[in-house]
Each structure stands twice: as structure tokens, then as C-alpha cells.
Homo-oligomer: A and B are copies of this chain.
């Protein structure tokens, strides 16, 4: 049975495997009051990836912990006491981020886990980061490369040093750095997935080649497919992002939403608001 730890009441044990080996997973969930954007998808991904790692947590325990967390933290982030007080029907205040860290727990002999380790679910709340303008952002290419192990592909594990090293390259005015693999394919941003609109259709790198297969990416692809749009999951190179064949590049994040890129390194890219309108995170609150 998973043990829930509230971050403000202390961290994990010094020998917790989440710290010692990055032996765990995490989720960051955009909250509005007590409701979470794509909450069910976040929970399902965490459960599926925990199963891949052999960390035992049940849907009921996770769901209950998220509910307790929403009740615990939402009031501190400006939740309205009257749920219908927003003029437009949306809770205009109260945006925050719920973070879940699931670790395999303490113990084991070196790298080898102890089958009796009790998984730990460390829960914290944070401010929403500054949201990018609808007019888009500047992105650049990271020098730090990504190496994706197919056996661990797509999972939001606690092994994120490549992303940290790329994020150290960020400079003022650059919103995101896009990371390449060692074949010069564009894989993903440090904290976002990539989606390009081209004359051949929407292109996004396949899940099997991703370090993190984002919940937002999965939802946006489902939205596009439901609308009958052509979606190609294939490797993406800089050549795919040349105008006029490229009609737009989007960064996808379940906290930031759909973020258009108007400039990639020295190249300007067209920006339309269409995708952000179709795929509005706030329509997914659960």
C-alpha cells in the first residue's frame, strides 16, 4: 500500500530509492481550484508507468490521494468559496500546480529493490509558472542531447539529468530548448513535446522515441484524430520545420497548454491560434 507524504510535513527518508537512484516517477498537474486538467490521463499514465517499473500502487489509492490533495491545497491558491462566482463560469482565480512523486520507497540491497519496499507518494503544491502569450514564444536548439532507452521510453521517471543540463543552457528571452538525439532528430523540449503542422499533416515524434510521452501530447493527438486531421508519428528533423512546408510548430505541456513557436533559432515560423483554441486545457478539468 502506498504511503502518502505531504511535502510541507517533511521529505522522504535519506535512503529512499527515489533519491538514491531516481527510482520513481512524477506528474505535474494543472489545477483550477479543486479540479485538475487531464487529471484522469495523468493518473492513468502514472499507474501504467508504475506497472512498467514494478512499483505497486492502485487506482483507488492514487485517486483518493489526488482528491485529498485538491481539498488540502486549493484554498491556499485562491479557490473561491462560491463555486459559481466567476463571471464567465470559469474559476478565473485559483490556478496552481499539483505535483506527485511516486518512489519505490526505501530499502533494497544496492540497486536491487526489496520486494517489501513500501512505495511513497510525495505530494506538493506550487504556483503556476508564467504562462506564455498567445502570440507565441522563442525556442532554440539545445547542445545537450537526449539518449532514449527504448525500454524506458516515454516514462516521466525521476531520471531527468539530461533535461536539467539542457535547461542550464536557457537564456533570457528563450522560452524552451529543443533537444535532439544523436541522429540529429528533434525529440522534445526540456519540458514540452513537439507538434509540427506541415502541408503533409501534423507531425510528432513517435512515443517509442520520446524521453517523456506527455499527457497533453496524447490528448492533442486524440483531438486532432477525432477531427479527421492527418497525424504522422515519425521522426522530426530541422528540414521539416522550413517554411512554407512548415505551417507552425507547437510545444505541448499539460501545465502550459499549447504554446506556438514564432521563432526557432534564427528562423521565423507562422503562428495561428487555431490549435490552442481547439485544444484548450481548461476544457479538460475533471
Contacts and interface: CB of A to CB of B under 8 A. Distances in A.
Q: Most B CB atoms within 10 A — which of A14, A146, A157? A: A14
B190 A111 contact: yes
Interface of A: 5, 7-8, 10-23, 26, 53-54, 101, 103-104, 109-113, 122, 124, 129, 144-152, 157-168, 170, 182, 190-191
A158 B20 contact: yes
B152 A161 contact: yes
Which of A11, A19, A26, A54 has the most chain B CB atoms inside 10 A of its CB?
Answer: A19
- The quantity of this chain's copies bound in the complex is 2
A151 B145 contact: yes
Contact of A124 (B11, B14, B18, B122): B14
Contact of A147 (B19, B104, B129, B147): B147
Contacts of A12: 11, 14, 19
Contact of A170 (B8, B112, B165): B112
Contacts of A167: 110-113
Nearest to A163: B111
Contacts of A15: 7, 124
Report the 10 A-B pairs with minimum CB-CB distance, sorted nearest first. Answer: A22-B22, A7-B14, A111-B167, A159-B159, A11-B14, A112-B167, A21-B160, A147-B149, A19-B19, A111-B163
A158 B19 contact: yes
Contact of A16 (B11, B103, B150): B11
